[in-house]
Amino acid sequence: MNWSLFWDLTVSGLTLGSVYSLIALGYSMVYGILKLLNFAHGDVYMIGAFVGYFALQGLGGPQNPSVSVWLVVSLMFLAAMLGGGLLGVVIERFAYRPLRDAPRIAPLISALGVSFFLQNAALLVFGASFRDYGTFDLIGGKTYHRGNVFLSVPQILTIVTALLLMIGLTLFVARSKIGKAMRATSFDREAASMMGIDVDRVIASTFFIGSALAGAAGVMFGLVFGQIYHYMGFIAGLKGFTAAVIGGIGSIPGAMLGGLLVGLAESYSTGYLPQGSTFQNLYVFALLILIILIRPSGILGKADVKKV
């Protein structure tokens, strides 16, 4: 067993998985509340990455930041989360809310439309060129290692930040008033409304939080992998959706677990399976099919029980 390769692949999988987890959380939260597959979510992640990039440029760029590096990184996350969150609220207000009582296919088509709109709007506004986060200049290329485990600073930053955000979200949903309202709305929207919960506000909050997490994931991606561009949300969105389904769509811990599993599956298939890097999507989506066949509601999802 080549342990060096194993640990390299594990670190790579966990890093990528952290990004997928944050994207999957948005899919899962929205589905939990509205039973809507928000296919524009991957593009919110892309916009978040661009907001983070422009925040970095506004603060002097990676080579000459006007404040300390860690403050720059924090402000990038803040700007991307705020930008992503607001975009999510706007999308909900104008593309989904008017269709809330329409047949389920209508908001799905609307979601696809918003996705293409955002993708092309980004192309129009930001241009087709790749944007470079310049992580090497900003943070440096230093790598820490213990035994066979090598971790770069952006990888540590990504894994730790994702972990903190996931813990924060779990506590928020479990303990805060709005979190309880979100759970109630998810359980039965009409009953929640009759109990005095402002459902519109809860749904808007859900979109804000889910989209803010996608914005954070966009910045993480830029910091670890360097380059962002208008088309980056398409595949990442699909992988985030896959992660949400594998973990059990509608389940917050499920989304986290699903994201990490997809990241690790991608990484191990690249490292160990024949032509793994070429056909990694084949292996990842085969995993999706396998898990769905064994557990149709995902690993931590609950089967829909209906009174008959």
Partner 1 sequence: MRSRRATAVAALLALGAAFAIVAAASATVNRSAAPAAASSAGSKLISCGTTRTMGVLEPITGPAASLGKLQNDWIQFYVNSHNRTHKKAKLRLAKGDTVLGGPGGTAEAVKAAQSLASNVLGVIGPAGSNEVKAATPTLMNAGFAFVSGSATNTEITSDGTRKGFFFRTVPPDAIQSTSVSNFINKKLKFKRVYIIDDQEAYSTGLADAVQSKLRAAGVTVTRDGVSQQQSDFSALIAKIPRDTQIVYIPWQLPPKGKAFGEQMRSAGKGSINLMGSDGLFDDAFASLSGVYASSFPTSGSHPIVKAFKKAHGGDAEFFGAPSYVAAQVVGGAIDRACKDGKATRAEVRAQVRKTNLKKTLLGFNVKFNSVGDIAGGQFGIWKSNGTAFLPVG
Q: Rule CB under 8 A: which residues touch partner 1?
A: 5, 8-9, 11-13, 15-16, 120, 123, 127-130, 132, 135-136, 141, 143, 145, 150, 152, 154-155, 221, 224-227, 229-232, 234-235, 266-268, 270-271, 275, 277-278, 280-281
For residues 193 and 227, which CB has a smaller minimum distance to partner 1 in the complex?
Answer: 227
For residues 113 and 168, which CB has a smaller minimum distance to partner 1 in the complex?
Answer: 113
For residues 124 and 164, which CB has a smaller minimum distance to partner 1 in the complex?
Answer: 124
Closest CA to 142 of 126, 130, 154: 154
How far from chain centre, in Å, is Cα 261? 14
How far from chain centre, in Å, is Cα 143? 25
Minimum distance of partner 1 from residue 50's CB (angstroms)? 14
For residues 31 and 268, which CB has a smaller minimum distance to partner 1 in the complex?
Answer: 268
Backbone angles phi, psi at 2, to 5 degrees: -85, 95
Task: List strand residue ranges (DSSP E) for 107-256, in order.
Answer: 131-132, 143-146, 149-152, 227-228
For residues 10 and 38, which CB has a smaller minimum distance to partner 1 in the complex?
Answer: 10
Minimum distance of partner 1 from residue 5's CB (angstroms)? 6
- Sorted by sequence, the CB contacts under 8 Å of residue 306 that are 6+ apart come out as none
Minimum distance of partner 1 from residue 278's CB (angstroms)? 4
Minimum distance of partner 1 from residue 249's CB (angstroms)? 24
- Sorted by sequence, the CB contacts under 8 Å of residue 6 that are 6+ apart come out as 148, 271
Minimum distance of partner 1 from residue 91's CB (angstroms)? 21
For residues 254 and 271, which CB has a smaller minimum distance to partner 1 in the complex?
Answer: 271
Name the percent of the chain in helix, strand, coil, to the closest 5.
75, 5, 25
* CA triple 222-223-225, angle to 5 deg: 65
Minimum distance of partner 1 from residue 287's CB (angstroms)? 15
In angstroms, rounded to a whole number, what is the distance separating the alpha carbons of residues 303 and 286?
Answer: 22
Closest CA to 235 of 27, 39, 5: 39
In angstroms, rounded to a whole number, what is the distance separating the alpha carbons of residues 49 and 38?
Answer: 18
